[in-house]
Amino acid sequence: MASASIAYTCDGTIDATQAGTCAYLNGTVANLYNSTFSNADASIYIQMGITGLGSSTTGFLNLEPYSTYTTALAGTASHDAVDTAAAANLSGTEPAIYSGGDIELTSALCTAVGIAGCTGTTSGGVACTIGTSGCYNGIITITTPANLTSEQPGQSLYWDQTGLPQTSDSYDFYSVVEHETDEVLGTSSCIGTPTALSDNCSGTNASAVDLFRYQGPGSLVFISTTPGAYFSYDGGATNGADGAAYNTLANGDDYADFATNCAHVQDATGCLGSALNITSDGNSEINILDAIGYNLNTVPNVPEPATWLLFGTGLAAIAAYRRKRSA
């Protein structure tokens, strides 16, 4: 049986900013993933820096034909309820809305579904082979407290290991890390949203999660500003993300982040005074990761469809966690 191994390599800025953070990351946070998934195997470099609340890069695009990905996905599935529904609703041939493009996979997702030869990144952004020393599946950067305060005076970061209560004007550090970890694993879209929706994956290509975006039952949607698009593992019958809708606006927020606020780890906007994690926010991120190729250690309580009805090579792939802030 596969054994999950999420591991964070911490730049010196991590513990220098708050003592005990690296140990907490590799204990409590890593265990959220390792205890949930049997094949989430990722080495992640993490640092403090100048960014929004957080950002992540997987370094280089790994583009595979649709049939290669779907065959690998079917061959490694655990056949839980989400896996079974996802496999049943993925078309045998690539739907026309993706224009015959390849599917972009993060190197961590390649490993999960057994696709060899995918490219990772060094901490300095150089292409490398996963499994070699100093090669990571992704890099996470979290804003420095000084940068956060300069942008929004009075706001701060909170670290759970301090044992102090979280204040109403602070963002939970580990919620931001989980958001970025999910993206390193593969929850990001190929669609960018800076001033207009555009495909950022070296042409007309979709990411794995783009294959599960629906506007309604049986209605796949790829690039569209129409509000209400959602993740579904069963052909649009079920909103599998706890009722959350995706961001579809050209507003700079990630296209595969949720438009909800203070409800889910993958929300596009941050939540002052609140801490979220993937095991306690309605299974939204867990269901997405399950559908795209990560297998669960235990079968969750998946709602019946009626419960949520209708509700790279060589090109840097950066997913920024832009959280709008209010004083």
Q: Residue ranges per domain, the chain?
A: 5-321
Least Cα distance to 247 among 229, 222, 265, 261 occurs for: 229
C-alpha to C-alpha distance for 273 and 104, rounded to whole angstroms: 35
Identify the three-state secondary structure at position 214: strand
Distance CA 91, CA 235 (A): 10
pLDDT tens sequence for the chain (327 residues): 456 799 999 999 999 999 999 999 999 999 999 999 999 999 999 999 999 999 999 989 999 999 999 999 999 999 999 999 999 999 999 999 999 999 999 999 999 999 999 999 999 999 999 999 999 999 999 999 999 999 999 999 999 999 999 999 999 999 999 999 999 999 999 999 988 899 999 888 999 999 999 999 999 999 999 999 999 999 999 999 999 999 999 888 899 999 999 999 999 989 999 999 999 999 999 999 999 999 999 754 444 333 322 223 233 334 443 333 332
